[in-house]
Amino acid sequence: MSSDRAMIEVRNLTVDYIGENSVARAVNGIDFDIREGEAFGLAGESGCGKSTVAFALARLTRLPGLVSGGQVRLNGEDVLNFDKARLKAYRWNEVSFVFQSAMNALNPVIPVSEQIMDVIQTHKPELGQQGARERAVELFELVGIPPRRLDDFPHQFSGGMRQRICIAIALALNPKLIIMDEPTTALDVVVQRDIIEQIVELKSRLGFSVLFITHDLGLMIEFCDRIGVMYSGELVEVAPAESILTNPQHPYTRALGNSFPPLTGPRVRLEGIAGTPPDLRALPQGCRFAPRCPHAMDQCRVQPPELRYYPQHRSEAACHLLN
Amino acid sequence: MVFLLRRLAFYVAALFVAITLNFFIPRLMPGDPSARIIASFQGRLNEAQVEAIRKSYGLTGSLWEQYVTYLGSVARLDFGISTVQFPEPTASLLFYGATWTLVLVGIAIFFAFIIGSMMGIHAAWNRGRFFDSVFTPINVMLNAFTPAVVALLLFYAFSLQLKWFPLGRAHDPSLMPGFDLQFIGSVLYHATLPVLSIFLVSFGGWHLGMRNVMINLLNEDFVILARAKGLSDRRVRYRYVARNAILPQITSLALSVGFLLGGALVTEQVFNYPGLGKFTFTAIQSRDFSFIQGQLLLLTMSVLVANLLSDIANVILDPRLRKG
């Protein structure tokens, strides 16, 4: 399904939030690739920078956020330096977005047909009104909503249906990458299951890549091919999904895995992670996880570790313990 | 539809309460309205004449009888006889004044709402940049001016000193009222300064209101999604953000109607404009109860009508209200 060729390459990406008289580095020089047809997950606690990365990738970062360094390449092209025309084509043709709350992701006062058709007409004016409408009907059928409901307003749909509509909008132009920022968090588990199955099915049929963001590690492991674990604006581990729980390299990944209850097997006491993530304006000198890490050594407190590839585990991790 | 019918029932009830209060308030005050007329004849009236005057004010019979008579005359839009312009019927004075006030306030609200809202949209979109940092503070400041100050300044500068605009009246008295260009031109010429003075103190409010709602909406997911879709700036700004931001503005517009009609009093006084406010001012000075009563009722009605219109507009503009 997924090839080894990197479609999106993120190199040393750095995003700051500019305050009145302070700068918070929300994303601190991270590197990762998303391959063709791959589902890549970003996991981590709230505020670790997952969504900030997603926004930077889609070129949606707005003040007070500022992409202050690094590169994002799409098949070799430098995304962060796109001019206006190229950016317009990049948006939605190549990268589209599905947001967490489907209620808020749709404009409440205009019919959903218009919200699907406007993106088609903006990018493919040659299709005309009629062609855009036909495509919208097609998309509704694709996500399993009767096309006669095309002209309804968002409030007339259930939460699950709204999220399907958002997926239909995301698919409108056959993008190469769909960024899904907590796409099922606001839904109940049954609907969540349906939606995920549908995304999996569509993905295998249409072959797009997914950048999947959620704090539900179980769901992520099931859906994604590879997972990047973020802590305090840095990637601490990038590994195949199956080894995140079974063979975690970084103590934070292990701790994160231990904070989820297993669905089968004996009942275990959940450990959680003691302490809180550091304030981005007053970071520890060495490894950012060191103050909460049960295995921290002297070196950890002075020298930040670098993300390195460990072939024997097929994973990348940033931890002094591994050397 | 159900929503509108419910609102309509509410407004009818509110109107009835207003009409009833309007009946009782003057009767609870010491000395009835006819007393002034009767007193002005300094005892030269006989019993029958006094009775006739009292009767013409609906002040004879039991309270219940008076109330029924009163309801009947309100239904016929008969507000009695003016004491100041005796024996002119109050209703005709009211409607004459109301027409001119409507011209003033209508034009002023129209421009203030549109221009203020457009400026608000622009300021919110370019938040913190040149347009926003210049016009937002200026408009806030203008909004803080009282109508009296602005009206006096404009009157002094453009009517008294520069003599660009007339010193009073709603139109050139030598013209016959009618729907011809000359008359309408004269009306607009006479209305310019009063309209401008109402406009100047009110458009800042729309600017601020629109700007604030817009800024809140800019962080909504559907606006971020619209930008991510690569839609044109124009489309995102108007169809996604402003389209939603206009809804609360329409509600405040209805609420401001009563305030503006009341506020026109000062403007009309300064520009000697024959509107409702100017008549009311005279009526208060000379205790013309029937006029004040009628004016109160008219204001109440116009506020209710404005609210009903805003409900209708909201139902048209907001699909979420259409059901249930």
Q: How confident is the model at residue A119 (pLDDT cuts 50, 70, 90)?
A: very high
As for how many domains chain B has, the answer is: 1
Cβ-contact A236, A221 below 8 angstroms: no
CATH number for position B163: 1.10.3720.10
Q: Which 8-state DSSP code applies to residue A277?
A: P
A159 in any annotated domain: no
Which chain A residue shows the shortest CA-CA distance from B239?
A110
Chain A nearest C-alpha distance from B230 (Å): 5
What is the ipTM, given to two decimal places? 0.83
CA distance A257 to A248: 8
B91 in any annotated domain: no
- Nearest CB partner across the interface for B228, out of A91, A118, A156: A91
Q: Answer with the residue of higher pLDDT: A215 or B196.
A: B196
Chain B nearest C-alpha distance from A186 (Å): 14
Q: Do B229 and A118 touch (CB under 8 A)?
A: yes
CATH number for position A11: 3.40.50.300
- What is the residue range of B105's domain? 99-288
B214 in any annotated domain: yes
A152 in any annotated domain: no
- Nearest CB partner across the interface for B243, out of A92, A105, A109: A109
Compute mean pLDDT per 10 residues along chain B, 324 residues long, and list them: 85 89 77 71 79 76 82 81 74 86 89 94 90 89 85 85 79 75 81 88 91 91 88 91 92 85 83 85 79 84 89 88 69
As for how many domains chain A has, the answer is: 1
Tokens 């674990």 correspond to A229
B190 in any annotated domain: yes
Q: What is the pTM of this model?
A: 0.81
Residue among B187, B194, B205 nearest B112 (CA): B205
Q: Do B320 and A93 touch (CB under 8 A)?
A: no
A101 interaction partners in chain B (CB closer than 8 Å): 221
B127 interaction partners in chain A (CB closer than 8 Å): none
* Tokens of residue B254, six digits: 């209805």
Q: Do A118 and B231 touch (CB under 8 A)?
A: yes
Residues of A with CB under 8 A from a CB of B: 58, 60, 87-93, 96-97, 99-101, 104-111, 118-119, 122-123, 153, 155-156, 166, 169
Residue A236 burial (CB count, 10 A): 27
CA B1, B7, B8, B13 torsion: positive or negative? positive
Q: Do B320 and A108 touch (CB under 8 A)?
A: yes
CA distance B135 to B145: 16
- What is the residue range of A74's domain? 6-94+175-263+274-322
A87 interaction partners in chain B (CB closer than 8 Å): 230
Residue A131 burial (CB count, 10 A): 15
- Nearest CB partner across the interface for A110, out of B225, B232, B239: B239
Q: Report how far Cα B197 is from the mean position of its chain's Cα atoms.
A: 15
CA distance B254 to B303: 7
B24 in any annotated domain: no
* pLDDT tens profile A5-46: 788 899 989 998 888 888 888 888 898 989 988 999 998 888
Cβ-contact B233, B242 below 8 angstroms: no
Chain B nearest C-alpha distance from A299 (Å): 42
pLDDT at B173: 73
* Tokens of residue A70, six digits: 């690094």
Name the average pLDDT for chain A: 86
B244 interaction partners in chain A (CB closer than 8 Å): 107-109
* Tokens of residue A122, six digits: 């903006």
CA distance B177 to B103: 14
B162 in any annotated domain: yes
* Paired residues of A25 in beta bridges: A16
B68 in any annotated domain: no
B307 in any annotated domain: no
